Each structure stands twice: as structure tokens, then as C-alpha cells.
Structure 1
Amino acid sequence: MLDVVPTTSSRLLALLSLLQTRRDWSGDLLADRLDVSVRTVRRDVDRLRELGYRIETARGPYGGYRLDAGSDLPPLLFDDEQAVALAVSLELTAAGGAGLGDGVADAALRALTTLRRVLPSRLRHRLEALPLIVVRPPAPPSDVGSGVLVAIGAAVHAREVLRFDYASDPTDRPPRRVEPHHLVTWRGRWYVVAWDLDRADWRTYRADRMAPRTPTGPRFAPRDLPGGADVSSYLVSRFRGREGTDVSPTWPCEGTVVLALPLAEVLPYVGDGVAEAVDEQRTRLTLGAWSFPALAASLLRFDADLEVIGPDELRVAFGLLADRCARAS
């Protein structure tokens, strides 16, 4: 009897790990992977349901099992790389390196403490071999609650009209109504690029000054930014020359590229540029410099493949650097 419990527990963990790796599993395939009978798979699925995991069952010849989201967060399983990536991300957030407020940083610190407590020693050693030092900007970013970012992000994703109060204009009693198109981060602050329905024009709002209201409004069709600009170029042009902003003076030479790196690996080195995720593996980046060769050289520090979006002067500068490097080699 003593040998059965750990065997069953190990099998439950293996079953849970499989259910997390793909959307649908047939009972026969799970039984084959776990080297048990289909009947045992059914019993183990029932045990996981008792532990709080929501596992849906589809009937018929093509039926099977699917792990769905429930009302509460159940225990999760991570492989080694996922666990290390999660710990590093939490450490960056807890140290204030993600441009979020103290409330989110405190929650990240608690989550990091919980994770470190259960990490295997081999993974703790990997983290200890990667000391992280996060340098905050001279002026700490304003506090943005995670609930505000989630509410804004949900409206952006669903393409739904967002209603909110804005702290910078106390006379603006009625809630603002906008079509939120982009949620971006710039030098430690979060901004929303949106079409203001009442002003019939594009506006940029600081997320830390927004108090979203519920429910959200109707769905809207996406609009193109003025002149067909991308969000990075648009944000730079909107901030350029404003007093009281934390934006650096205009560079005489500016360019935009798409880097073959995820946004999280680019953000720590953006400085006064603008970065936006294209997808999980690519980032659109706009930077400036005193000359286009200097800008090209600066972009090469990311040590990743890149695609030049514009202008043509930046493409010419990369060719110039290539010739110099060929002669030097």
C-alpha cells in the first residue's frame, strides 16, 4: 500500500504536465504516453478534478480531454527553463525594472519568495549565478496598478470603447470615451494611444492618471494612425517639443527597425527610444542619434538580426558600416 501512493502521485503529475503542453488529448494517446490503461486515465482525470483542475471531456470517436481555465488558479507545473524565466521576470518586476508601480512590485516580490522556496537546488544555483542589478530612472515612474493595466489591456485586445476619468483634468466631469488602440511603455511610464470619440482626434494618455470605468462600450473597427505611421513613430512625434515631459530632445537622425528579439530583452536598453512587441519573438524599435552611421552602430549592439523599416538613409548607413567592417577584418 505504501508503494501505491507515490506511484499514483507521480502519474498524476505526469498527466497534468501532458495536459498543459497541448490543447486536446485523446484518452488512448494519454494512456499510451503514461503506459497505463484508458480506464486508469479516466480515474486520474477525476482525481485532478477533485484537486480543482477544470478538465473538459469531449465525447465521440474524436473525443478526449482538455485542460480549461477555472474560477481559481490551481497549482501549475513548469519545466526548468520556464521556472528560471519566471523567476527572472519576477525579480526584475520586484526591483522596479518593468515600469510598474510599488503595488505590482510588492506582489512580484511575494510571488518570487514563494517560487524560490520550492525551486530545486539546481535551479536556485542557476539564479544565484545570474545576479541582477536594476537601475531606476532618476525620476521614479508614477504608480500604475495592475488592475488598471489589465482593464486597459482587455479593452485594447477586445477592441471595445473605454470609459475613464482622467486625473490631469479635474474639470472634465463626464468620463472620457476613447477607442484604445495601443498600450505602450516609454521610459518607465505606460501610455495609451487612442481615438477620442468626443474630440474626434487621436490622443495619448498616461495610464497612471486613468481610472477606467465599467462596463466597456461597444466594439470598434481599428483605425490607422495619422499618415499611416507606426505607433513608435507616432509616439515620438507627439512628445517631441512638449514641455514637462520626460522625453529627450529631438535627434537629428531617427530610424525604425524590427529586431529578432522579444520585447523583454530589448526594453532594458531602449533609453529614449520607443519599443513595441510585433509578436512573441520580434520587437519594433525606434531610436535616434546624431548621425545615421552612429544609429546603425547603436542598433548592432543588440546582436540580433534586424529589418530596417526606414528611412533609406539608415539602410545606406548599414551598408557603409558593412564596408568598413569588411576592410577591418
Structure 2
Amino acid sequence: MSDTTTRALSLLNLLQTHRHWPGSELADRLGVTERTVRRDVERLRDLGYRIESSPGAAGGYRLEAGSAVPPLLLTDEEAVAMAIGLRVAASQRLVSGPETTITALAKLEQVLPAPLRRRVAALADAVQPAGLNAGAAVSGEVLGELALATRDHERVRFTYTAASGEVTHRRVEPHALAPADRHWYLLCWDLEKEDWRTFRVDRLASVEHTRVLFEPKPLTPGEVEEFILVARSWVRQAVEADAVMELPIEAMREYFGQWGQGASDAGDGRTRWPVGGGDFRETMYGLSWIPEGVEYTTDLRSPAREELRETLGRMLRALDAPPPEVPPQRAKERALPSA
């Protein structure tokens, strides 16, 4: 294989790993001049790859979909079959590593011509594995665009419809895509709110790439997981209530961290915090996390209110009563020193 061919393939690999590359950076990566990069781009165009170029200080190159499938050693049918499989795997979470599945899908659909993308969409909608609940329908195109922006650290705009029906326009720096409880979530830095936000992907529409790159803010995998767990808790619960605690909202947010989302200032140094669960026991568990010594009131409604009162009454009576007699064997085990 000639040096020219090897260099052209290296250029193609770089173009497939990021959505936008400045010409000067490509030249540095390949160890050639920008003039040579321009010639290699033309060679790839002659092979069927559609590569868009933009002039200026922020200009560069990006790989776009062409009028035919580029030479990926795949037939149209094979490319469609692969894209359908990736779409189904991504939406149903049949494989581990959801980000890998989504980015692979995005990379493949990025070079599929429009007629084949339409075939993929139609067939993927018809192929539904039995026995799996996919949750809310998610646009494969939206998932793909968000995956590309997350991979490339590119700011995006989109329209978001909240559970209340409120429609807002957001400008964000996407950080991670993750599935949880049959839904997909986007974790991102909201540029207007200047804070982290988590959005349900099925409520997203009109994703627009800004071509503005950003330096990702540091987050550990544990922090990402916590953000997603908090977002899951915002699904409407069977038993919901507000707790108004004698604690200023700043102190409350410092104590609860991300779990303090949704809290609001109730005035007079108090904080209103929504809490809920599948039944009164889960709601009781949430209330138990209110800091020790902090008094609060709650509007928990019937019948959960009476069920919780009865359960707490029995617990208090059990704690006040003499402890049950411990069987001899259990008493002996308790007396043994721990290893």
C-alpha cells in the first residue's frame, strides 16, 4: 500500500472519529502540510466520501452523508442490516455498553445516503423483539445526533417538552447518554442555567449542531450515575408529597446535593422538597433522609397518611417494649468476638 493511500486512510479514520477537524490540526496529526491535506481530501471525495470544507480561522473539514454508500466493503443490504441491528440494540438495550452502540450507529448512519436511512428507519420500527418493554419511543436520528455531539464535545440546541407540557429551547454542552428504566437520558451542562441538567431524550426534538466545541467539565462515573438516578426519581410516583423543612434552601442543597433538585424556597428560612415513591414505605424512606434535628411538615394524603401513621405507631411500640428473649444459640453467637 502506497504512502499516499495509507495517509488517505489515516485521514478518513480521523474524519470518522470527530465531527469537525480544523485543517491545521489534521496536518499536525498526519505530519504533512495543509496543502497535502487538501489533496488527500480530494482523493477521498473521488472515492465517494462527501467531505465538507469551511474557510476561515474556525474552518476545517467534516464528513457528511453522500449520494451513495462509500467503499466500506459493505453492500447496501449489509449496511442497512447493520444499522437496523444497532438501532434495535440501542433502543432495547440488548447489549452492554450503550454509548458504544449509539456511537457505532451514529458513525454508520453518518455516511448512509438518505434513501437507505429511510429504509433503516422503516424497518427498525417494524422490528420489535418480543418480551421487552422499550419504554417511550425515541427517535434514532435524535439519539445519533446527540451521540455525535457528545463524542465530539460540540454544543447543541434543541427543543424540550417537559412532563407538564411546557416547551423550552435549550443550549447545552452534552456530557453523557445513558439508558435507565426504559428511557434514554441526556446529561449536559445547561449554558443558560449554568448548571447540570438531565433530559429525557424522548421529549427532545429539533437537535441543531452549533459547530462550537467545548472543553468537558470533569465528572466521575459515580457522579454521572447519581445524576441519572435523580432524573429517574422525577418520574411521576404513585404516592407523592411535599415536605416543608425548617432549613434554609442553601443548607438543604448543600446537604442533599443532586437529590435536592426540585426544592424551592418556602420563605422564613424554610425549604419545600417534593418526595414520593411507589407506595407509602418508599415515601417514608425519602422522608427519613431529612437531616437529624430538622423539623418538618408534610402534606402526604390519605390513605398513605394513615398507613404511614399505623406503621410508625407499631415501630414505636416495638422500640418501647422489652426486647424479646434471645435464644441461647443466638446469644452465644453474639458473644463471640468478630474475626
Scaled by the length of structure 2, the TM-score of the pair is 0.36
**TM-score with structure 1 setting the length:** 0.37
Bigger Rg over Cα: 2
